[in-house]
Amino acid sequence: MAAPTIPEIAKELGLSNTTVADALRGTGRVAASTRERVKRYAESAGYRANRSARQLRTGSAEAVGLYIGSDVRNMPFYMPFTFGVMEELANRGLDTTLISHAPANSSAVQVGGLLVIDALPDDPVLESLLRSGVPLVSAGRLASAENPAISSISIDYPATIRAALDRLDARGGHRPALLAPEPRDPLAWSEQIVATYDEVCSERGIRPLVIRLPSYATNERLREALDTVEADGTFDSLFFSWQDIADRSHALLLDRRGEAPRWATATLIDSRVNTHYPYDVLVDLDARRFGVSAAELLATVMEQPGEAGSHLTHPAQVTSGG
């Protein structure tokens, strides 16, 4: 059984997170009887004191673990995200450790905080990290994490994709086909995009077409996908779920025809600075800023255990392209 967190102890004893945190640290204005009750319960439940907050306050070095889901980590988005995380943590005197495999046991997690992005529910690495009792922030929604102590920062994909599809419609893309990654869990960003696309198509009375591709599809698979859309003949636009697949599609179509795609196009991008081709609609996720914000949230939770369970939204900007 995982060691209890401060919010779990607080819920069990009917106290606030701050009261429990102060009682365990020996700080704050907590009655002696309450302090003793908290300490007795924490000891019997196997609570392990979090070293990270103390070390953050004293300015000594501490490592933070970053885990990226193994099936998506080769997508270009995660590089600027990681740089954003590392930059923010370095500004706070913290090192970033990239986690690639599950530790021998949950007690072997030797970091003061954990940041997880886009891990699958049955991922053994994620399961081990969740059991560690270390402060954890999820960038994006976790289908397997029901622990109220887990904080998160996520993008409102349903609202963002609706706005992008509306803008694409205004630019002449009335019947879009969607290119999306292979299926993941229902709360994954890719599935939120697909679900929103299906809803919008249903509301508009148009036939959807979702073509699934690996996170790094071969050019052959990508050509097949584009040929499928063209052969159908009823779609006037393409919506790409990630930038790499959009840029490579443009390159393939230019190579084949010597001209830009005849379809209206929309794509999610990592950063507007790195946009290489003209698109009618851009959804700027600002991956680097997302990483900075995720690291800021984790540092806050590490410094102030009472903030565990916080949930923030990272804004994405929908604009018209070239």
Cα 140 to Cα 148: distance, rounded to the nearest angstrom: 15
Question: Structure tokens of 55?
Answer: 């070390």
pTM of the model: 0.78
What is the domain class of 61-154+289-314 according to CATH?
alpha beta
Q: Which of 44, 114, 98 is nearest to 295 (CA)?
A: 114
From first to last of the 322 residues of the chain, give the pLDDT tens digit: 566 778 788 889 998 877 887 787 676 678 889 988 998 898 888 876 655 554 544 444 478 999 999 888 888 899 999 999 999 999 988 999 999 887 655 555 678 899 999 988 888 888 888 888 889 999 998 766 567 778 999 999 999 999 999 999 999 999 999 999 999 888 899 999 999 999 999 999 999 999 999 988 999 999 999 999 999 999 999 999 999 999 999 999 888 766 666 788 999 988 766 677 889 999 999 999 999 999 999 999 998 888 888 899 999 999 987 6
Where do the H-state alpha helices sit in 189-286?
Answer: 189-204, 219-232, 243-257
Only one residue has tokens 């969740």, namely: 130
With H, G, I as helix, E, B as strand and everything else as coil, classify residue 158. Answer: helix
Query: 157-284 in CATH: which number?
Result: 3.40.50.2300
Q: Is 69 left (phi over 0), alpha (psi -120 to 50) or beta?
A: beta
Write down the domain spans for the chain: 1-49, 61-154+289-314, 157-284
* Two domains, one topology: 1-49 and 157-284: no
With H, G, I as helix, E, B as strand and everything else as coil, classify residue 296. Answer: helix
The torsion angles phi and psi of 150, rounded to 5 degrees, stand at -80, 125
Rounded to a whole number, what is the distance in angstroms from the first to the last CA of the chain? Answer: 54
Cα 267 to Cα 321: distance, rounded to the nearest angstrom: 10
Architecture of the domain delimited by 1-49: Orthogonal Bundle (1.10)
